[in-house]
Structure 1
Amino acid sequence: MGLSFDLSSCNNFLQLSKSTILIGLFGLLVLLLNLRKRVSRKNEPPEVAGGWPIIGHLHHFMGGKNKLLHVAFGAWADKYGPIFTLRMGLYKVLVVSSAEVAKECSTTNDMVFIARPYQVASEVMGYGYAMFPLAPYGEFYVKMRKMVTQELLSNSRVDSLKHVWGSEITNAIQKLHQKLVSTKGGAPTLVNMKGWLTNLTFRTVMKVICGGVGGDDTSPAASVTSNGGDNNDEVSTYQKALREFFVIVGELRLSDVVPFLGWLDNMATTYLKRMKDNGKFLNILLEEMLEEHKRKRRSLSEEEKKDGGYVEQDFMDVMISKLKDPKLLSYYDADTINKSTCLTLILSGSETTMTSIVWALSLLVDHPHVIKKAQDELDTHVGRERQVNESDIKNLVYLQAIVKEALRLYPPAPLTSPRISTEDCVVSGYHVPAGTRLFINMWKIQRNPEVWHEPLEFRPERFFTTNKDYDIGGKHYDLHPFGSGRRACPGASFALQLVHLSLASLLHGFDIKNPSNEPIDMTESPGVNNLKATPLKLLVTPRLFSKETY
């Protein structure tokens, strides 16, 4: 008995199947068109042209093109307006370049944009999201931010530690003065200010947060005769590791924007290994410091314990005492929270301060009349018989205007860290779907010609005339270099105090000039922090020689 079938019946079936498929495809097409029309009625923001399937607009940033995202976004804002979208890989990105819209995102829609998008580097190097600025929004984030704000960065806590960071800055200025006088007789000397400031801010922030590092025998004055690195190899290694952290976090990776292609990252680069090595190295540093703090506490004698016990010297000490909340400790152990929080503050404090002062000096030396005004103010309110201290800053209004203007032109973070919408919302009249990434382009906002007259010019005087009511982080969202809303930098006030005192001390103690007739190179570096791409080597001459001063 053979196997047979009716060929005509099969042909009829195939014809029927083709008809069914065609009808189905036609119906699907109609459905998709209807859905598209329905979505388009929601009035979404304009999208940058030229997106590709899967990768979206990533090709605009490949091959060395448009490495400075804030500049590329700024150019698109000129074309598409103050609110537009693009696609980074599979994800829609909303870019805001208007103070009014930024305020709306940070007030009306603040809770909608409270979450952070997933990033491999944040998980691998951020102690599995224990670094609270990188953590998902929830109980852990809320409790940690509250603790940091109230226990570490409160006005009373910062005031109690002013003598620590004040003495670090004073000592660094004294040693630089002594170095210049002893080696050059007080003659103008070429100093790598970027390197000097890196050492100064790193040592100062480390002293406040975890008691210091690398001993006290190596001064930032080492940068006078070197390429700017610290002569202490241990300190230099730590600085490089911190810089590498920022570089890695700032890199745009397929893992974060096209997750199913993430495996290509490790085929083409050593990205994952770099992350793990960096995280491991920094953890060892923090682990050693934490154990030393615990050892000092254990070594207290019974008499010392009766007299009040261990006196908290720095932020790491404070957290050892305060990390008792069982709900907080249900997420991570106390040591992990302590180390991750200290790392957060070290990274943000040292890099932000150094970056801000470098840009301020870069602008100042091309405007010597501004330096003269600042020094006249310092001589009036401080005199030449002592060094500047923190209590003088409130009287140095022109110096404060210099810092405002430098932060306006070169904010340390030109783009806010990305946030993600947790639900559909309306921004500036446009529908923004859930899952949209948000960037606020502070660099573009702070150069708006409708707000800032001649916005590309360095003019501190504007804060006494057309923009006299503008304060950093104030009611005007045109000047928010440290972000805004619930995700704003909690250490902005502390960083500003360091910037003011460091810059005032430099301008008071030294004459600083451009060694060349050419303007300072103002090229920016890509990444999370807006670093100056090239060294800043300036001629530095002591201007105070009183024995009481030095």
Structure 2
Amino acid sequence: MDPIILGSLAMSVVVASILWFKTFSWNRDPLPPGPRGVPILGYLPFMSTNMLQHLTHLSHQYGPIYKLRLGTKLAVVITSPSLAKQVLRDQDNIFAHRDATVAALTFSRGGRDVVFSPPNSSWREMRKVLVRETQSSSALHASRELRRDQVRRAVRSIYSKIGRPVAFGELTFQTEVSLLMNLMWGGLHSHSAGEERERLGTEFKALNSQISKLLGKPNISDLFPLLSRLDLQGVKKQMGKVVDSIDNILEHFISQHEKLCGAFNTEGRKDFLQIVMEHKENKDSDLPTLSRDQIKSLLYETVSAASDTSATTVEFAMSELVNRPEAMEEVQKELAEVVGMNNIVEESHLPKLHFLHAVIKETLRLHTPVPFLVPRAPLHSSSVGGYTIPKGTKILLNVWAIHRDPSIWDTPEEFRPERFLEDSRNLNFKGNDFEFIPFGSGRRMCPGIPLAERMVAYLLASFLHSFDWKLTDGKKLDMSTTLGLVLHKTNSSIAIPTPRLSKSLYT
């Protein structure tokens, strides 16, 4: 090797070492403890494919906060409620930024969405529009008939398959996608909704699967940023193709709305895209003006994230109940008392179904849809739990471990919904109790909780009140999981439905 090049490399190493020493030796607090790795690769060679159990096991060895060197990237894993509170609430202004990977930035069109955007004015505007027009009390009230129609459609679909196996996870996903497409951009296309909804639902499921895998896939470009331009694993290229497919779908609907702008039906419920397009023509509107990329991101992100997490929650809940007939019997007993065997479930019944809501909470405890939440990164160096967290560190909040911590939960591995009825803390989804934070906390917590909570409860109640469910072979359903960004069941859950109500209630 050329002596000049060799000397430059040696000098670079010396300078980097001095800077590293200065950065961390001058801090009052040390870095968190953690396992040793190997040169260049850090702890990468020792990472298990079963990340949930592996990272939880490391917390037993190194404590509730520890570091991992992954290539050139420093990651810190947090597994205690008190430390999670420091990140999510006490220092929310510092830790509200995302550790956006190459895949995430490609998916979000450079961070032009609600999930991966930095918490700036653009992010606040997008979130304001989304929450006001889809999650507020008035928006939920306006879309109640749409939810009823979709849930009844799902019940009729199951009734048409009586005596045959039903994959209720796939059915739930199709129902959620259909609902959200109508909510976000389907108001002008209800006359042709049937076949188009089914086709798009299938297409969205395939796209969602790709997105979840790519967002959760370890990528050399993220661990060694100097190599990111090479895209050695093709993650950026693959995600780019997915985004192109999404754009093709959304451009069709946006173009149709643009052509009809000014000629919209002003009566009845307006879809989200209609509201956004009308706003562009109305200078007196109090809604922020969104770019085309922001509109696309909000449209797809809402349909994708809400349908995926809601569907996987319903599938896990149904699977746990099918495996535990005594718990299913308790839910159905409550439904019979509240709804009655001569009626179908309506949204007005949901607040009275206390055991059903306990089932949903227990499902989210054991099978948190995004078990590490969406990774964060501090805007500047900070201190958590007496340890220094350098600027740009990847923060993994291991909610899965917190929700299964035996010092917090009695028999944590057991599916026991009644624990939420017995607990005096009255745990909910608002992010104030850090022992139970399935949707996060602080300004970056999931904005879609009101609609998701309503739809999960409505679908689950309707499936359980309308049908008895039996296993196809008498064996328990396999509860093994696969982790991308979202936690899914590895194998689809299938059971055979039997009607519980009179025939006239299924029409």
TM-score (norm 1): 0.83
Deviation at 1:396, TM superposition (A): 0.4
Q: Which residue of 2 aligns with 1:248?
A: 214
Contact 2:404–2:413 at 8 Å: present in 1 too? yes
CA distance in 2, matches of 1:430, 1:249: 29
Alignment equivalent of 2:255, drawn from 276, 291, 296: 291
SS of aligned partner of 2:68? strand
SS of aligned partner of 1:262? helix
In structure 2, stretches of 5+ residues that fail to align are: 1-10
* Counterpart check, 1:501 vs 2:458: yes
Contact 1:247–1:528 at 8 Å: present in 2 too? yes
Alignment equivalent of 1:207, drawn from 182, 188, 192: 182
Deviation at 1:218, TM superposition (A): 5.2
Q: Which residue of 1 aligns with 2:3?
A: none
In structure 1, stretches of 5+ residues that fail to align are: 1-23, 181-185, 220-229
Which whole-Å deviations, capped at 9, do the CAs of 1:57-82 have from their partners, x for residues lacking one? Answer: 22233xxxx23433221111111111
CA distance in 2, matches of 1:479, 1:29: 41
Q: Which residue of 2 aligns with 1:481?
A: 438
Deviation at 1:152, TM superposition (A): 3.0
The structure-2 alpha-carbon separation of the partners of 1:32 and 1:174, relative to structure 1 and needing over 3 Å to count, comes to closer
Q: Which residue of 2 aligns with 1:12?
A: none
* Counterpart check, 1:176 vs 2:158: yes
CA distance in 2, matches of 1:149, 1:217: 28
1:437-448 correspondence runs (5 A)? 437-448=394-405
* Counterpart check, 1:375 vs 2:337: no
Deviation at 1:233, TM superposition (A): 4.4
Q: Which residue of 2 aligns with 1:57?
A: 43
Q: Return 362-371 or 129-138, whichever deviates more.
A: 129-138
CA distance in 2, matches of 1:468, 1:34: 46
Q: Which residue of 2 aligns with 1:11?
A: none
AA aligned to 1:204 is: L
* Counterpart check, 1:353 vs 2:353: no
1:189-338 correspondence runs (5 A)? 189-211=164-186, 215-217=192-194, 232-263=198-229, 265-266=231-232, 269-299=233-263, 309=266, 312-322=269-279, 334-338=291-295
Q: Return 391-400 or 427-436, whichever deviates more.
A: 427-436
Q: Return 353-362 or 35-44, whichever deviates more.
A: 35-44
Contact 1:189–1:541 at 8 Å: present in 2 too? no
SS of aligned partner of 1:211? coil
SS of aligned partner of 1:286? helix
Q: Which residue of 2 aligns with 1:100?
A: 82
Which whole-Å deviations, capped at 9, do the CAs of 1:363-406 have from their partners, x for residues lacking one? Answer: 11111011111111111111122210111000000000000000
Which whole-Å deviations, capped at 9, do the CAs of 1:421-468 have from their partners, x for residues lacking one? Answer: 111212112222222111111111111111210000011111121455
Q: Which residue of 2 aligns with 1:223?
A: none
The structure-2 alpha-carbon separation of the partners of 1:270 and 1:156, relative to structure 1 and needing over 3 Å to count, comes to same
Deviation at 1:537, TM superposition (A): 1.1
Which whole-Å deviations, capped at 9, do the CAs of 1:202-234 have from their partners, x for residues lacking one? Answer: 212222222178944459xxxxxxxxxx9x545
1:433-472 correspondence runs (5 A)? 433-466=390-423, 469-472=426-429
Which whole-Å deviations, capped at 9, do the CAs of 1:161-211 have from their partners, x for residues lacking one? Answer: 12112211112212321x13xxxxx5x321122222221222122222221
Q: Which residue of 1 aligns with 2:4?
A: none
AA aligned to 2:409 is: W
Deviation at 1:262, TM superposition (A): 2.5
The structure-2 alpha-carbon separation of the partners of 1:332 and 1:28, relative to structure 1 and needing over 3 Å to count, comes to same
Deviation at 1:238, TM superposition (A): 2.9
SS of aligned partner of 1:54? coil
The structure-2 alpha-carbon separation of the partners of 1:165 and 1:84, relative to structure 1 and needing over 3 Å to count, comes to same
CA distance in 2, matches of 1:430, 1:206: 45
The structure-2 alpha-carbon separation of the partners of 1:31 and 1:360, relative to structure 1 and needing over 3 Å to count, comes to closer
Q: Which has the higher Rg, Structure 1 or Structure 2?
A: 1
Q: Return 33-42 or 283-292, whichever deviates more.
A: 33-42
The structure-2 alpha-carbon separation of the partners of 1:173 and 1:37, relative to structure 1 and needing over 3 Å to count, comes to closer
Deviation at 1:350, TM superposition (A): 0.5
CA distance in 2, matches of 1:246, 1:452: 29
SS of aligned partner of 1:256? helix
Contact 2:96–2:443 at 8 Å: present in 1 too? yes
Contact 1:105–1:113 at 8 Å: present in 2 too? yes
Q: Which residue of 2 aligns with 1:19?
A: none
CA distance in 1, matches of 2:242, 2:17: 53
Deviation at 1:29, TM superposition (A): 12
Contact 2:279–2:289 at 8 Å: present in 1 too? no
CA distance in 2, matches of 1:353, 1:455: 23
Contact 1:193–1:537 at 8 Å: present in 2 too? yes
Contact 1:115–1:419 at 8 Å: present in 2 too? yes
AA aligned to 1:297 is: C
CA distance in 2, matches of 1:263, 1:474: 38
Q: Return 233-242 or 103-112, whichever deviates more.
A: 233-242
Contact 1:385–1:546 at 8 Å: present in 2 too? no
* Counterpart check, 1:364 vs 2:321: yes
* Counterpart check, 1:117 vs 2:99: yes
Q: Which residue of 1 aligns with 2:8?
A: none
TM-score (norm 2): 0.89
* Counterpart check, 1:126 vs 2:108: yes
Contact 2:103–2:235 at 8 Å: present in 1 too? no
CA distance in 1, matches of 2:407, 2:203: 45
Q: Which residue of 1 aligns with 2:341?
A: 384
